[in-house]
Chain A
Amino acid sequence: MSTFVQSLRLWFAPERIRQEGDTPDYRFSLANERTFLAWLRTALALIGGGFAVDQFLPDLRWGVRVGLALALLGAGVLCSLRAVNHWVRCERAMRRGEDLPASRFPALLGVVVAVVALAMVVIVVFGWEG
């Protein structure tokens, strides 16, 4: 977790990230930026999904509806924070000429989305009153 705190300090210190290593080819930095934006879009989609569940599924029981919406919103928050963190780590690795950081977050998010989708299938097949 200390590596997370370290990169958290880098979030707001552009001069410190520029002190490390050499500036990579600008195209690599732009590719890293686009990856960051793609993760941010994923986060925004999850947050939009949270809003949508709350509004467009009024027949669901209150607990199920709020739980599902909060789960989606939580996933969105995690996704956006992780987007910045991963961007900082990739940028630093590129400047130092190291390997790009490996991450189990995509697999985790994939499993969570699959579980939510399966839950929706079960709810649809066996009726709403679950």
Chain B
Amino acid sequence: MGSLGFTPSLIVVGISLVIGLVMVVVFRYTSDQKAIRVAKDHLKAHLLALRLFQDQIPVVLRSYGRILLATGRYLRLAFMPLLFVIVPLTFLIVQLDRYLGLTPLEAGHPFLVSARVADATTLNEASLQLPDGLVTTAPAVHVPAENEIVWRVVASREGDYEVNVQASAQTFSKRVVVGSGLPRLSPVRLRGRFWERLFYSAEAALPKNSLIEAISVQYPARDIAFAGFEWNWIWLFFVLSLAAGFLFKSILGIEI
């Protein structure tokens, strides 16, 4: 992605526009447009009633009740299309998060590699094997309460590395990316834990009989500069896709 010369902000803008358009179209065909229009109109009517009949206390109180009911009805109708989009969109956002959520590590800047083991007694047997270009800068730190061992590592140059964690006779690798651009990053490699793996990891699972439960690399979060602010990409996507949705819904005459 980065090799095409697009900056992260341009990519987020482009994705937001496309997803904004796709989502309103999906919304159009998966929602009851007429019912949504009616529900919104009723909401507006009850709001107007508050003003029109402001001296009629029973009317005002009834209108408040109706506003709550109509809001519930509108939310139910508006969230119905969510059933259709939440799964694909969630997976899409997860995948985008691999590229946009974190930045690669920087050469010369130390970072942490940690391994969590199933049994605390294994901690003393765990070791980290580093490829050429990566070195540890401090002795390993054992955290028995967490079943975890942490190494402080630094890269001397950019590259796509594989570090190996050895425990007893088992050795497991973990990808570490040092560099720039928008590479696909996986902050953790996990054993089992399907759902967590699905949402957080971009690497193959550790074997079921592995003594190691997880190997993590602490990538820094990515901030995207846009409109004079530093944004987490998901917030920027939120704002821009909403704006795109508003734009396209008006152009296409879609009731949201």
Query: Does B bind A?
Result: no
User: Hey, which bits of chain B sit against chain A, CB under 8 A?
Assistant: none
